[in-house]
Amino acid sequence: MRTLSGGIDVEALTAHEVVDLVLERLHPRVALACSFQKEGSVLLDMILTREPRARVFTLDTHLLFPETYRFWAETERRYGIEIEVHSGPSLGRQAATHGDALWRRDPELCCSIRKVAPLARALGGLDGWITGVRRDQSATRAGTPKVGWDDRHELWKASPLADWSDEDVWAYIRERDLPVNPLHERGYASLGCTHCTRPGEGREGRWAGTAKTECGLHV
Ligand code: SF4
């Protein structure tokens, strides 16, 4: 059985200890996947405090909120980092290939070309990635391990906040006086693309009114 921990019970570790373990074993071949949500604010602080040269990447769908693009730029300034970017096709190229409003006609294909394919490129050459996934976000995330082997992408996947609640996240942000994406204050608990995200608790604002609940990055 594959193990990153050398016999340590990873599930008993705190979020900081998981970050320490992953950076110690995998840096610089590990990167944080950041989508500029509140969990990202927490992990950026934890990771960059521990290792200022830690790698961070984001997936640019070209359909993020203006607030998210501004918060992205502010984050780079605050930490003095350059976030690695992996993008889907331009809107024009997508329209030429798949027609207009793909997000409405076929959101699975839209996420596949704008998120899932760029993620595969982002993970190429890495030995591990770090995510802000939490178990209480949805039933599909309930079994998320703090560190596990990602069979689909063939590398380690760490979710240091797996056992955190929403309140734990906000308490850390208050304690560390961290900046957060202003969309959270406007009722968006979970953030995605402009076309598919509405204000709402938990993940209820994502693809609201459709059966879709995940973009395919974590399932
Ligand atoms: S979240 Fe919506 S707009 Fe963004 S990639 Fe997925 S379907 Fe397309």
Res 81 pLDDT > 80: yes
Please provide the size of the chain in residues. Answer: 219
137 Cα to the center of ligand 1, angstroms: 19
Which pLDDT tens digit goes with each residue over 115-151?
Answer: 999 999 999 999 999 999 999 998 999 999 999 999 9
Give, using CA atoms, the residue closest to atom 5 of ligand 1.
111
List strands edge to edge, sheet with 84-87.
84-87, 55-60, 30-33, 128-130, 155-158, 147-150
Q: Output the pLDDT for position 218.
A: 81
Give, using CA atoms, the residue closest to atom 4 of ligand 1.
193
pTM higher than 0.85: yes
202 Cα to the center of ligand 1, angstroms: 18
- Residue ranges of domains in the chain: 32-132+165-210
Mean pLDDT over 162-169 rounds to 98
Coil, helix or strand at residue 123: helix
- The answer to whether the beta carbons of residues 131 and 156 sit under 8 Å apart is no
| Local confidence band at 163 (pLDDT 50, 70, 90 cut-offs) | very high
Q: Output the pLDDT for position 1.
A: 61
Which pLDDT tens digit goes with each residue over 4-44?
Answer: 878 889 999 999 999 999 999 999 999 999 999 999 999 99
Catalytic residue numbers, as ranges = 215
Res 154 pLDDT > 80: yes
Beta strands, E only, the chain: 30-33, 55-60, 84-87, 128-130, 147-150, 155-158
Evaluate whether the domain defined by 32-132+165-210 bears CATH number 3.20.20.100: no
115 Cα to the center of ligand 1, angstroms: 8
Give, using CA atoms, the residue closest to atom 6 of ligand 1.
111
The atom of ligand 1 lying closest to the CA of 114 is 5
